[in-house]
Structure 1
Amino acid sequence: MSAYVISELEVRDPVAVETYRTIAAKSIAQYGGRYLVRGGAAEVAEGGPPVKTIVVVEFPSMERLREWYASPEYAEPLKHRRTALERRLIFVEGVAAA
């Protein structure tokens, strides 16, 4: 069953963000992940607070997602993430196809 990384972020350093994105994208692909949403236009339909930048990545399974997050391939971009952006990161399991 698919699993998703939902990231709500705020950029601190635009140059560092580009470095982070480039390296992180390679690590995501190595673990079978693919971007579904990557910072496109977003709006609040109900509730608050205002929307920040949203990124959604799909992985084949929660196990694979967790392997990616703990991987040596993601350790390097994670170092850049700390200065590049502030974020809330959520892991969510998908539902079985009906």
Structure 2
Amino acid sequence: MDYYFVAQIRINDNHEYQKYIDKAGVIFKKYNGEYLAVDNEPIILEGKFDYTRCVLIKFKSKSDFEKWYKSDDYQEILKHRLKGADCDTILVKGLDK
């Protein structure tokens, strides 16, 4: 079953955030993660969106997600995202196929 990591991001320090971006894609892929969307101008249909970016990443399983998120590789770059941006993130379970 697929799992989706959804991040709503408000970038405050582009230089610090870029340190995260420079390595993030390679690390996602290493743990079976796949970028599905990265949007700096999502269309707001309802409510408020006080962010500068929305990201959607698919993992093939919850186990893959957990291995990625808890990995030393990811924890090493996560500090740059947290320092360079305010983020609200969730994990969403996909539908059974």
Aligned 8 A contact 2:37 2:55 in 1: yes
The equivalent residue for 2:48 is 49
Aligned 8 A contact 1:42 1:51 in 2: no
Query: Structure 2 CA distance, aligned partners of 1:26 and 1:45?
Result: 32
Pairing 1:59-98 to 2, within 5 Å after superposition: 59-97=59-97
Aligned 8 A contact 2:10 2:50 in 1: no
The equivalent residue for 2:8 is 8
With the length of structure 1 as denominator, give the TM-score of the two structures.
0.90
Alpha-carbon deviations, 1:55-94, whole Å to 9, x = none?
0000101111011000011011111112111100101110
The alignment yields a C-alpha RMSD, in angstroms, of 1.2
Quote the offset at 1:41 in angstroms.
2.8
Query: Structure 1 CA distance, aligned partners of 2:72 and 2:49?
Result: 34
Structure 2 unaligned spans of 5+: none
Pairing 1:18-29 to 2, within 5 Å after superposition: 18-29=18-29
Give 2:49's aligned amino acid.
P
Aligned 8 A contact 2:27 2:74 in 1: yes
Aligned 8 A contact 1:44 1:51 in 2: no
Query: Structure 1 CA distance, aligned partners of 2:89 and 2:25?
Result: 16
Q: Secondary structure in 1 aligned to 2:45? A: coil
Q: Which runs of 4+ in 1 moved over 4 A?
A: none
With the length of structure 2 as denominator, give the TM-score of the two structures.
0.91
Structure 1 unaligned spans of 5+: none
Q: Secondary structure in 1 aligned to 2:88? A: strand
